[in-house]
Chain A
Amino acid sequence: QKEVEQDPGPLSVPEGAIVSLNCTYSNSAFQYFMWYRQYSRKGPELLMYTYSSGNKEDGRFTAQVDKSSKYISLFIRDSQPSDSATYLCAMSADPGGGNKLTFGTGTQLKVEL
């Protein structure tokens, strides 16, 4: 079993839809949770960063962390064609882990006109 599981998609939605992207994990030591957006042939771009459980909102993006269920989500409201990209979740444990990130495999999202 992988430490972080993420559905690879592809996920296709119409413009304006609410998108839900999810990751599950098995390592209870993870405390720092990140979502990255990666366009084709580009580097990953940090979208959201959360520590421990709870919600965080930034514009059209909301990140949720449920540590009791070992489940994290990224919601995108009013999705746009420019949101079409691969979304990677990433997690990190206690600082003693040496700043290592464990990535999900990424979900490919396509927002259609």
Chain B
Amino acid sequence: DTEVTQTPKHLVMGMTNKKSLKCEQHMGHRAMYWYKQKAKKPPELMFVYSYEKLSINESVPSRFSPECPNSSLLNLHLHALQPEDSALYLCASSPGQGTGAYEQYFGPGTRLTVT
């Protein structure tokens, strides 16, 4: 099973709202990622968690706050977003060790619209 699940599928929020995106994987992967993808562009890396510790933050604005409660879950907390933050937010995971350590499996994404 190579499934990464994300909720919600769609989210519309105002610029003053606080919301959270959730991601879950049960493949025993030890690395998890958040990406942002705009239309007709490749995914852009935002954050990497390796063994539940934040290992990469790609200079993402503080209105995006990641959290990794355990090895299977990844959250992205959103606050005071701007309309330009509207995009498809993708979660991915990879084994992090052994053969295929760097194979990243993506979830279906959350389509976020900021009004």
Contacts and interface: CB of A to CB of B under 8 A. Distances in A.
A41 B111 contact: yes
A21 interface: no
Query: Most A CB atoms within 10 A — which of B40, B104, B107?
Result: B104
Nearest to B58: A100
Contacts of A100: 45, 48, 56
B61 interface: no
Most buried by A among B42, B45, B88, B109: B42
Interface stretch (B62-70, B74-82, B94-102): B94-102
B106 interface: yes
B21 interface: no
B104 A101 contact: yes
Given A41-B88, A44-B90, A49-B100, A99 B107 contact: no
A25 interface: no
Interface size classification for chain A: 20 to 34
Contacts of A72: none
B43 interface: yes
A103 B96 CA distance: 19
Given A34-B103, A43-B90, A95-B101, A103 B108 contact: no
Interface of B: 2, 4, 6, 31, 33, 40-43, 45, 48, 50, 55-56, 88, 90, 94, 96, 100-109, 111
19 contacts: A41-B88, A43-B106, A45-B106, A46-B2, A46-B104, A46-B105, A46-B106, A88-B42, A95-B101, A95-B102, A98-B48, A99-B33, A99-B96, A99-B102, A100-B45, A101-B45, A101-B102, A101-B104, A104-B42
